[in-house]
């Protein structure tokens, strides 16, 4: 049996040639940063999400911090789910805000209107939702409406959600702005990189300044904001342009594999997939499966890898942020939903080009490993 990797970064040969040709042109002309390729990548990504503006930056982390700076979080609280990547709360702190961790619904892995209501205080400036695993929760529009009513900003950390939709509306268009990541393991990559999307002209214009050392304009040395070097190089934009063209194919592959998992897992005892609700279309950055209480996740993963050659990817996430030492000062209350979501799930391998035989192999391995684990946990 071949080994099944946890994830695969797919850049087909034809694309590599195209990328090298784009890079060659950049090297020939010397346009190596903030040039035509960045503009092309931004236009393509704005079109994908149906946003007015897209601003390419050097990471998903800076794509979060920049809008937070524009929105002005200094000295204010920002509500963030606890089951997210370090970068979400860290960006709030770097932008001068304070983090208020909110609980999540363990059946969706997302904030709900209820958990947001509970977390908001008179000091709250806004809310950041994270579309975990690529799933846009059906509560998203209600949370956006609640924020609007209360005068709070609503930002989407869409690092996982390229191409995901809810009710036909793209992830990244439910709030005032959104951030995407192009880290190599994401559904599409630019090597390193990120993208801000927004319909708000002020956010767009200020984000361009923040990205480039707070300069008033590209050609001036007149600094109007405390920006940073958050620029994306043209060489990275070349990779992003090519991957964006491949995205429809990547999404189709991931959705086909996910569909096969969903059908095959129906009869398996001890697990339940976390699936998008009706009207929500995931990109299946992750295929999340909840495990029944009492199963030893680490042992299950070890068994799958060592005896079946099946590697599972990292969780989303293993340790919630309110339990991370670096955020101890912000761990104000118990968050049982986040603890449960983080503590009891695994992510099955999904990648572009995954074959039906590979999905079958994972399901067969999982079925046997789960049976062994359930027997061991009862013993
Ligand atoms: C939810 C989430 N937010 C933000 C980021 C940060 O993106 P990057 O690694 O591109 O800075 C990531 C990436 O791993 C992420 O998963």
pLDDT recorded at residue 262? 98
Question: 48-59 pLDDT, tens per residue?
Answer: 999 999 999 999
DSSP 22-79: HHHHHHHHT--BSSHHHHHHHHHHHHHHT-SEEEEES-HHHHHHHHHHHHT-TTSEEE
Looking at the structure, do residues 237 and 285 belong to the same domain, yes or no?
no
Instruction: Decide whether any atom of ligand 1 lies within 6 Å of the 63 Cβ.
Output: no
Q: Please, which pLDDT band fits residue 1 given cuts at 50, 70 and 90?
A: confident
Tokens matching residue 326: 């670096």
Average pLDDT, the chain: 97
Looking at the structure, do residues 172 and 231 belong to the same domain, yes or no?
yes
Looking at the structure, do residues 301 and 154 belong to the same domain, yes or no?
no
Query: Per the domain annotation, does 177 fall within a domain?
Result: yes
pLDDT recorded at residue 245? 98
pLDDT (mean) for 94-123: 98
Helices (H), the chain: 13-29, 36-49, 60-71, 87-94, 113-119, 140-150, 201-211, 234-265, 297-308, 336-343, 356-378
C-alpha to C-alpha distance for 240 and 313, rounded to whole angstroms: 23
Domain containing 122 — which CATH number? 3.40.640.10
CA distances 2 to 311, 363, 364, Å, are 11, 14, 13
pLDDT (mean) for 169-198: 98
Looking at the structure, do residues 264 and 140 belong to the same domain, yes or no?
no
Question: 184-226 pLDDT, tens per residue?
Answer: 999 999 999 999 999 999 999 999 999 999 999 988 999 999 9
pLDDT recorded at residue 332? 84
pLDDT recorded at residue 301? 98
Q: How far is the CA of 163 from the centre of ligand 1 (A)?
A: 16
Point out the domain boundary residue: 195, 214, 243.
243
Domain containing 274 — which CATH number? 3.90.1150.10
C-alpha to C-alpha distance for 83 and 160, rounded to whole angstroms: 13
**Atom 10 of ligand 1: nearest residue by CA position:** 60
Q: How far is the CA of 202 from the centre of ligand 1 (A)?
A: 24
Looking at the structure, do residues 224 and 319 belong to the same domain, yes or no?
no
Point out the domain boundary residue: 208, 227, 243.
243
Looking at the structure, do residues 192 and 332 belong to the same domain, yes or no?
no
Q: How far is the CA of 307 from the centre of ligand 1 (A)?
A: 32
Are 86 and 183 within 8 A, CB to CB?
A: no
Query: Per the domain annotation, does 7 fall within a domain?
Result: no
Query: Per the domain annotation, does 348 fall within a domain?
Result: yes
Looking at the structure, do residues 133 and 252 belong to the same domain, yes or no?
no
Q: Is the dihedral of CA 62, 42, 183, 153 positive or negative?
A: positive
Question: 76-90 pLDDT, tens per residue?
Answer: 999 999 999 999 999
Q: How far is the CA of 85 from the centre of ligand 1 (A)?
A: 6
Looking at the structure, do residues 196 and 288 belong to the same domain, yes or no?
no
Point out the domain boundary residue: 204, 222, 243.
243
Q: Answer yes or no: is pLDDT of 379 > 90.
A: no
Instruction: Decide whether any atom of ligand 1 lies within 6 Å of the 144 Cβ.
Output: no
pLDDT recorded at residue 218? 87
Domain that holds residue 80: 13-102+109-243
Query: Per the domain annotation, does 273 fall within a domain?
Result: yes
Query: Per the domain annotation, does 6 fall within a domain?
Result: no
Question: 332-363 pLDDT, tens per residue?
Answer: 899 999 999 999 999 999 999 999 999 999 99
pLDDT recorded at residue 267? 86
**Position in ligand 1 atom list of the atom nearest CA 181:** 10
Query: Per the domain annotation, does 38 fall within a domain?
Result: yes
Tally the domains of the chain: 2
Looking at the structure, do residues 236 and 251 belong to the same domain, yes or no?
no
Looking at the structure, do residues 218 and 321 belong to the same domain, yes or no?
no
Query: Per the domain annotation, does 159 fall within a domain?
Result: yes
Q: How far is the CA of 247 from the centre of ligand 1 (A)?
A: 18
Query: Per the domain annotation, does 322 fall within a domain?
Result: yes
Tokens matching residue 227: 């920006």
**Position in ligand 1 atom list of the atom nearest CA 84:** 1
Question: 290-331 pLDDT, tens per residue?
Answer: 999 999 999 999 999 999 999 999 999 999 999 999 999 999
């Amino acid at each position: 049996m071949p080994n099944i990797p946890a994830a695969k970064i797919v850049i087909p040969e034809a694309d590599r040639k195209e990328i090298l040709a784009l890079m060659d042109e950049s090297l020939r002309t010397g346009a190596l940063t903030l040039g035509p390729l960045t503009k092309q990548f931004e236009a393509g990504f704005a079109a994908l999400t149906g946003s007015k503006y897209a601003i390419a930056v050097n990471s998903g982390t800076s794509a979060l911090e920049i809008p937070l700076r524009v929105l002005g979080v200094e000295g204010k609280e920002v509500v963030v789910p606890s089951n997210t990547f370090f970068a979400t709360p860290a960006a709030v702190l770097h932008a001068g805000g304070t983090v208020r961790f909110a609980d999540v619904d363990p059946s969706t892995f997302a904030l709900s209107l209820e958990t947001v209501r509970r977390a908001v205080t008179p000091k709250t400036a806004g809310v950041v939702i994270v579309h975990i695993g690529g799933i846009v929760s059906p509560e998203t529009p209600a949370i956006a409406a609640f924020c609007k009513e209360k005068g709070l900003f609503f930002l989407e950390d869409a690092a996982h959600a390229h191409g995901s939709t809810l009710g036909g509306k793209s992830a990244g268009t439910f709030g005032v702005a959104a951030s995407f990541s192009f880290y190599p393991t994401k559904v599409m990559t630019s090597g390193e990189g990120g993208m801000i999307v927004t319909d708000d002209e002020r956010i767009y214009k200020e984000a361009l300044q923040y990205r480039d050392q707070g300069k008033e304009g590209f050609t001036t040395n007149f600094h109007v904001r405390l920006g940073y070097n958050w620029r994306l190089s043209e060489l990275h934009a070349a990779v992003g342009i090519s991957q964006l063209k491949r995205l429809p194919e990547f999404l189709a592959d991931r959705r086909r594999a996910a569909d096969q998992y969903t059908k095959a897992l129906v009869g398996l005892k001890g697990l339940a997939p976390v699936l998008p609700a009706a009207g929500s279309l995931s990109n299946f950055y992750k295929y999340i499966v909840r495990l029944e209480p009492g199963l030893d996740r680490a042992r299950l993963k070890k068994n799958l890898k060592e005896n079946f050659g099946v590697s599972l990817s990292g969780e989303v996430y293993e340790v919630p942020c309110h339990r991370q030492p670096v955020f101890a000062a912000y761990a104000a209350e118990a968050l049982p939903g986040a603890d449960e979501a983080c503590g009891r799930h695994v992510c099955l391998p999904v990648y572009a080009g995954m074959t039906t035989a590979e999905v079958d192999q994972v399901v067969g391995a999982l079925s046997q490993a789960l049976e062994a684990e359930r027997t061991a946990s009862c013993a």
